Amino acid sequence: MQLQQVNVGTKLLADYASLARYGLMDQIRALAEPLQGKRVLHLSATAFGGGVAEILYTLVPLMRDAGLDAEWRVIYGQDEFFDVTKTIHNALQGDSTGLSDEQQETFRRYNRLNAEALEGTYDAVIVHDPQPAAVIEHARGSATHWIWRCHIDLSEPNRSVLDFLLPWLGRYDATVFHRRQYVPSGNGLPAAYIWPPAIDPLAPKNMALSAEDAAYILNQFGIDVERPLVTQVSRFDPWKDPLGVIEAWRIVRRSYPQVQLALVGSMAHDDPEGWEYYNRTVSAADGDPDIFILSNLNNVGSVEVNAFQVHSSALLQKSVREGFGLTVTEALWKARPIAAGRVGGIVDQIQDGETGYLVESVEECATATERILDDPQHARSMALKGKEFVRRSFLTPRLLRDWLALFNELSGNGAAVDELVTSLRVG
């Protein structure tokens, strides 16, 4: 068995120069210079569906353009493994369900198999999220430095499941989290570094799309482009609360009987629970012709998601747990009015009442949506402020800068990057 390598294509840093904030490209060039030729491996659970994959399709080729020998591989797993890792994911975000002895053994076995399939040696291996976290136990000699990158909300974890993972996390040289509140407590853990993820402004999902083109695309899915549309883009997952979105929309429809609802998601092979929740969402829609439930299985890809976001009168992200919420970042980048859950990394993106609305219940979500529909000009002016905030804080060149700073720190080149890294380090 060999770990599947993901073909990421080519991207050029120079193409982002006009979008990056002042001085960022100079920082990237200075940080990249001592790292030329360093071998870097990203290891994740899936090559499609979800924010991790979207980030890596841009980050890996930009690392290459900066002079690193970077690659991305996906671990092997069958349903029995991904059932376990979904339980782990949910538990780390606060679900009370723990792991049986059999599930723990399944996790260990697949991580051992993937470690045995890891070939070559690297200067750094970056392991994304819990699924491959235990690979390090059997492959520590494959890299000089190992980094665990956590993309989920660890603020209130199920302690028994976290304790199951901690011995492996203690083997890493560094960990990276979206927020300080996500850094777990425990003895023997490495230094944690804090920075948010980012979106690619030049990817098909985020590139400029005219209103006319967006309307044309949505018309192909049966959307009445002459009527208002409210959309949530996210996986079909209890933490994203699509059922709550439907409830909120039904309240909004009392005042706006013409409003339509689109729930646009993606089905990923490492998320078997997604099918169950997709079916629950379809059941909650109860055949309403004004509710559109769509995914990559309906040929909804990056451009189509872009069109839904651009055309919508209001965008929602009614999460009840959220590591960061890149769909919020996407909405703000497109200057679209948004209401989103007051949780996780969403609160680092939306200034409530200034760049969007933060909500904590179905009723608050409905009220915020109605405020957007009541005064679209004001909602648009708020969203434009949000777009500038994203440009300064949440675009991929800044994310590349952070990774280069950490590589320099771990390689002993700290003199050049102390100011950057000390602002990120926890512990």
Same fold: 4-198+395-426 with 211-393: yes
pLDDT, tens digit, 9 for 90 and up, residues 314-329: 999 999 999 999 999 9
Spatial distance between the Cα atoms of 51 and 66, rounded to a whole number of angstroms = 22
DSSP string, 6-47: P------GGGGTTTSPTTHHHHHHHHHGGGTT-EEEEEES-S
Residue 166 is inside which H or E element, if any? helix 159-169
What's the pLDDT score for residue 186? 82
Superfamily name with CATH number, domain 4-198+395-426: Glycogen Phosphorylase B; (3.40.50.2000)
What's the pLDDT score for residue 269? 56
Question: What letter represents residue 24's amino acid?
Answer: L
What's the pLDDT score for residue 327? 95
Domain ranges of the chain: 4-198+395-426, 211-393
CA distances from residue 289 to 72, 282, 286 in whole angstroms, order as listed: 42, 12, 9
Spatial distance between the Cα atoms of 122 and 11, rounded to a whole number of angstroms = 22
pLDDT, tens digit, 9 for 90 and up, residues 330-345: 999 999 999 999 999 9
Residue 254: other Cβ atoms inside 10 A? 9
Domain 211-393 annotated CATH 3.40.1080.10: no
**Residues 6 or more apart whose Cβ sits within 8 Å of residue 388:** none
pTM for the model:
0.91
What's the pLDDT score for residue 15? 97
pLDDT, tens digit, 9 for 90 and up, residues 88-107: 999 999 999 999 999 999 99
- How buried is 1 (Cβ within 10 angstroms: 0-12 exposed, 13-18 middle, 19+ buried)? exposed
